[in-house]
Structure 1
Amino acid sequence: MDVIFLNGGSSSGKSSIARALQAALSEPWLTFGVDTFVAALPATGGGIEFDPSGAVVVGPVFRRLEETWMAGLAAMAKAGAHLIVDEVLLSGAVGQQRWRSALAGLDVLWVGVRCDPVVAAAREAARGDRIAGMAADQAVRVHEGMAYDLVVDATATDPDACARQIVAALPPGAG
């Protein structure tokens, strides 16, 4: 297995699950999240906007930069690094297809990380570093049309238990 791809809305628990996976897997796995990519964008001109309602709007500049991000991560995996990708596919299946193209030739486990919108919104409020409404907006939308190998529900399941479910879904010797 080359890549474990976690897709879920904001505050669904993906980053905590990724850290739990790193601890549970026998080999070293690198974690890269969409938050890292967004933080790397320039403050202006990066092609991403955060609506006051919590909606995220991306434009062509963002998509161009995102393509290079995806190609870079794919190159790392092709060079032998095991990756956990922590992503929020705002366009659902369309975003998955972009990633499938970038990760062509790699062995990928596609994992949906679901979380009840009310719970995700409460986590979002407790974090204090997100725009209110983002978690509720994304909780269902990011899963539309997606094809997963596995779905975990992080609503009431702790990250370690979700990580164990993911590890159990890996082929023998894959982690």
Structure 2
Amino acid sequence: MEHLESVPARRGLVIFLNGTSSSGKSSIAAQLVRILEEPYFHMPVDAFHAMRSRVPVAPDQLATVLHRTWQGFHRAVAGMAAAGNNVVVDHVLSAEWRLRDCLSVLVPEDVVLVGVHCPVEELERRERERGDRPPGLAARQLKQVHAHGLYDVECDTAVESARECALRIKEFLPARPRPTAFERLRAGYG
């Protein structure tokens, strides 16, 4: 059995896909894990919600349960990266506290923040087609999701395929400029 001392220490890279529901984040993430040359873990926030038991939650407790789930998700991503794992995060920063929390737990120079954009008409069409999201969810998220305004890379999934977006992100990685969007955002919220 290999001893942990033989594993070289490093921090993993976090490719953080932020966009509304139905904007194409999961499709881009699926392409990224196929084309990137190092191993990456796709960590979608929806997977964390799916892990929760189906025990009914009282309406007055739902906000607390959801808040704790998102906080735990942020810390799980940070823990994976701290252990040297590369991660593709699929998230919706539809509340300012989520961004602030991510800024506080992730190493900002190790985060590539990707804005995943899509026009509202296309989001609504995708929601209708999916049928598993409340109508208008993406439109309600749109204002806050991109309110912080800073990204390292941006994609529009109405004009680029998920593969094209993933290739653009991959091409960006080798020469990432500093400060990163996360570094600039952390300085602005400091």
TM-score (norm 1): 0.84
Structure number having the greater strand percentage: 1
Q: State the one-letter code of the partner of 1:40.
A: M
Identity %: 38
Partner of 1:101: 104
Distance in 2 separating the partners of 1:146 and 1:39: 29
Distance in 1 separating the partners of 2:162 and 2:58: 32
Matched, 1:69 2:80: no
Is the 1:114–1:139 contact (alpha carbons within 8 Å) kept by the matching residues of 2?
no
Alpha-carbon offset, residue 126 of structure 1: 0.6
Distance in 2 separating the partners of 1:65 and 1:46: 16
Within-5 A mapping of 1:35-50: 35-43=46-54, 44-45=56-57
In the alignment, structure 1 segments of 5+ residues that lack a partner are 50-57
**Highest Rg: 1 or 2?**
2
Q: For the structure 1 residues 133 and 48, does the alpha-carbon distance in structure 2 shift closer, same or farther, using more than 3 Å as the test? A: farther
Query: For this pair of structures, how many residues does the alignment match?
Result: 164
Structure number having the greater helix percentage: 2
Alpha-carbon offset, residue 114 of structure 1: 0.4
Q: CA RMSD in A?
A: 2.4
Partner of 1:59: 63
Query: Residue 22 of structure 2: SS of its match in structure 1?
Result: coil
Partner of 1:27: 38
Is the 1:9–1:140 contact (alpha carbons within 8 Å) kept by the matching residues of 2?
no
Greater mean deviation of Cα atoms: 75-84 or 131-140: 131-140
Alpha-carbon offset, residue 68 of structure 1: 2.1
Residues 59-113 of structure 1 deviation map (CA, whole Å, 9 limit, x = unaligned): 233222322222122111111111000001111x432221121113660100010
Distance in 1 separating the partners of 2:33 and 2:60: 30
In the alignment, structure 2 segments of 5+ residues that lack a partner are 1-11, 177-190
Partner of 2:158: 155
Query: Residue 113 of structure 1: SS of its match in structure 2?
Result: strand
TM-score (norm 2): 0.77
